[in-house]
Amino acid sequence: MSEHYEARATAHAARRDERRRLSVVIARLRLATFIPGAAILVWAIADGGPWPLVVLASGLLALFAGLVVWHARVDERADWYDALHVVNLHALARIARAWDRLPPAEPPVGGQRWSLFPGTDVPPVTRHPYAVDLDLFGRASLMQWLGPAATAAGNETLQAWLLSPATPDVIESRQGGAIELAPATEWREEFAAHGRLSADVRRAELEAFLQWAEGPPAFRPSRMRLLRVSVIGLTAAIWIGLALQVAGFTEGAYWLIPVLVGMVLSFATTGPVHGEFGRAGAGQHAFARYAGLFTHAVASPQGSPHLQDIHHRLSAAGNAAPACMRSLNRIMGFAQLRSGAGILHFPIQAMTLWDFHTLFALERWHTRVGMRVRGWMQAIGELDALSAFAQARIDNPGWCLPRVAEGEHLLDGRALGHPLIPEDRRVANDIAVGPPGTLVLITGSNMSGKSTLLRAIGLNTVLAQAGAPACAASLRLPPVDLETSIRVQDSLEQGLSYFMAALARLKGVVDRSHATGVSTHRRVLYLLDEILQGTNTAERAIAVRGVARHLLQAGAIGVMTTHDLGLAQEEPLASSAVLAHFSETVDAQGVMSFDYRLRPGLATSRNALRLMELIGLHLDVEAEGG
């Protein structure tokens, strides 16, 4: 796919540069038509010049107006091709895992999501059971690789899916959507480009619009009905009275009476009426920036049930979301009469009660559509997330769609690799974790690949339970609650030493395993890397055996790594652990190398002293010995 993205990026860049060169030419033509046109017109009017000069000046100014419209369209197309160009550059960076060329992927601030997903807050990422250990966020993270999402809603949806495992039926539904979107490369490219063009919409503005759409109307229903009847009656009285006077049936201007009543009513309600226009308009301009995105979204493939559901949710009152947005834009355009044409507003309001009729149209839109708007954004977010999964599928044809099913008793991965390592450096391994009552104990030298394998298992589990492709030839697993202890850090803020932080993390793993152990639908999958390194060897061995006993009794499945080879000879590990190891080779020149291949059995080599020598830290072993 790299060649495809390179060709597309080059083509879009060429079109963008062509439009930008044309934009410069048009800008000069605008200047060349406006200045002489305005000068000739002023001179002709001031000195009473001949009418041909007036016609010439008018023609130049009309040409200037046409150039302004053309210029805007050319700049718009230049921005469009630039967005397409950047989308393909990101695709290239994603394949190469070129992290410097991908936008950063920051975690949810304080673990809180914005109000697009009310009531679905998650714990802060630092206290999440696996987010930090598995590099879900930040530089060289899973989120950075999957992204950038086209929209803020898509970004929030991806975060939610990665942080919270889905049920097997939801996973299958998302996989179907990703399969459907994968071959639609041009549609996905344009969807991402539309997202980039609307990326400057501020969340506060969008949230203001959502609050208005879901909030109460300007008037209670009973008052709104009374106001509607009054306005319709007054408007009819004005025009009927005026028609009777013009036709000669009446001599007096009786129609001025309802005009006066209407103006009193206008002044009495100006606060709530124009306040409603202000609340609707505060975020509507930001929301309108999504018009192209919504129009493109409703043209998405609809072969899978999930995509059909998204398409159904992108509608309200029998109309598609883009049509509803165009209707709102027209209504808000009518509401701009007061500020956009203030001189005309008073007579028009006096004769037609314009603002009230606009309010009634806005109220109908609010009633029929308002409560669906947040659902539109959620649907766009899901479509965006599915598009990211489809991108991963098409860019990695060797990856599988995992099978997550109740009744499975083990995680079984074939040719499972770390998804964030480039393909030319990735080493895949077969791994089976489970069934309950067993654990995998991995030993091996420093730098041999133990922690990388744990993260590979964890990241692929996260992808599998989010509904995404996994970096494996095949992967099947039961629904699991993933728990990890890989990257433990002390905390000055909480007053925790490294050892206490490690204990706290282990307690969370054990507590979750016992809480989940009573369920027949989910299991705890734990990944523990060199646990309790902050204490002496004898106490650590006792503690590790105790933790393992708790996890085995709770029916959890998982993997532990250790340098302590003696642990494998003691219960409960001696009878319950499946042993595997990584090793290294040293050539005749003393150069150490690793093949990162997982092998059965217990490790037989150590390399800490050799690694110290390789970096130039030579120790006098004999002197140390006495």
Q: In terms of pLDDT, which residue wins out, 494 or 206?
A: 206
Asked if 402 and 470 touch (Cβ cutoff 8 Å), the reply is yes
Q: What are the pLDDT digits (tens) for 180-192? A: 999 999 999 999 9
Distance CA 433, CA 23 (A): 61
Q: What are the pLDDT digits (tens) for 50-63? A: 778 788 888 998 99
Q: How many residues does the chain have?
A: 626
Looking at the predicted structure, is the pLDDT value of residue 478 above 80? yes
Residue 413, classed as helix, strand or coil, is strand
Residues 442-465 as b/e (b if ≥16 CB within 10 A, e otherwise) read bbbbeebbbbbbbbbbbbbbbbbb
- The two tokens of residue 546 are 């105790």
Asked if 189 and 8 touch (Cβ cutoff 8 Å), the reply is yes
Residue 392, classed as helix, strand or coil, is helix
Looking at the predicted structure, is the pLDDT value of residue 611 above 80? no
Please state, for a pLDDT cut of 70, what percent of the chain lies above it: 88
Distance CA 423, CA 359 (A): 59
Looking at the predicted structure, is the pLDDT value of residue 623 above 50? no
Highest mean predicted confidence (pLDDT) among 274-283, 286-295, 348-357: 348-357
Q: What are the pLDDT digits (tens) for 367-413? A: 999 999 999 999 999 999 999 999 999 999 999 999 999 988 899 99
pTM: 0.86
Highest mean predicted confidence (pLDDT) among 149-158, 243-252, 359-368: 359-368
Looking at the predicted structure, is the pLDDT value of residue 612 above 80? no
Q: What are the pLDDT digits (tens) for 279-296? A: 888 777 777 778 888 999
Looking at the predicted structure, is the pLDDT value of residue 17 above 90? yes
Q: 104: which residues sit within 8 A by CB, 6+ positions away?
A: 138, 139, 144
Region of poorest pLDDT, from 130-139, 319-328, 478-487, 504-513: 504-513
Using CA atoms, how far residue 319 sits from 209, 311, 358, 381, 469, in Å, is 20, 11, 20, 20, 34
Distance CA 303, CA 409 (A): 33
Query: Hunting for tokens 């595997």 — which residue is that?
Result: 580
Region of poorest pLDDT, from 75-89, 200-214, 303-317, 511-525: 511-525
Residue 625: band (very low, low, confident or very high) from pLDDT cuts 50, 70, 90: very low
Distance CA 376, CA 380 (A): 6
- The two tokens of residue 369 are 């559509």
Q: What is the mean pLDDT of residues 542-552?
A: 87
Q: What is the mean pLDDT of residues 236-265?
A: 90
Number of H helices, E strands in the chain: 22, 14
State the pLDDT at residue 108. 72
Looking at the predicted structure, is the pLDDT value of residue 494 above 50? no
Give the mean pLDDT of the chain: 86
Residue 16, classed as helix, strand or coil, is helix
DSSP codes joined into one string, 473-500: SEEEE--EEEEEESS---BTTTTB-HHH
Region of poorest pLDDT, from 234-248, 256-270, 273-287, 396-410: 273-287
State the pLDDT at residue 492. 41
State the pLDDT at residue 53. 79
Looking at the predicted structure, is the pLDDT value of residue 72 above 50? yes
Whether cis (ω within 30° of 0) applies to the bond prior to 572 is yes
- Of the candidates 388, 32, 374, the residue with the CA atom closest to the CA atom of residue 207: 374
Q: What is the chain's percent helix, strand, coil content, to nearest 5?
A: 60, 10, 30
CA-only gyration radius of the chain, Å:
34
State the pLDDT at residue 403. 96
Residues 560-570 as b/e (b if ≥16 CB within 10 A, e otherwise) read bbbbeeebbee
Asked if 103 and 147 touch (Cβ cutoff 8 Å), the reply is yes
Q: What are the pLDDT digits (tens) for 505-544? A: 777 788 887 777 555 578 999 999 888 776 667 777 888 8
Using CA atoms, how far residue 177 sits from 171, 300, 385, 390, 463, in Å, is 10, 11, 10, 8, 15
Looking at the predicted structure, is the pLDDT value of residue 82 above 80? yes
Looking at the predicted structure, is the pLDDT value of residue 490 above 60? no
Q: Determine the residue type at 30.
A: R
Q: At CA 291, angle to CA 290 and CA 296, rounded to 5? A: 100
Asked if 19 and 70 touch (Cβ cutoff 8 Å), the reply is no
How many angstroms from the chain centroid is the CA of residue 401? Answer: 21
Looking at the predicted structure, is the pLDDT value of residue 440 above 90? yes
Q: What are the pLDDT digits (tens) for 93-124? A: 999 999 999 998 887 765 444 455 555 555 56
State the pLDDT at residue 430. 96
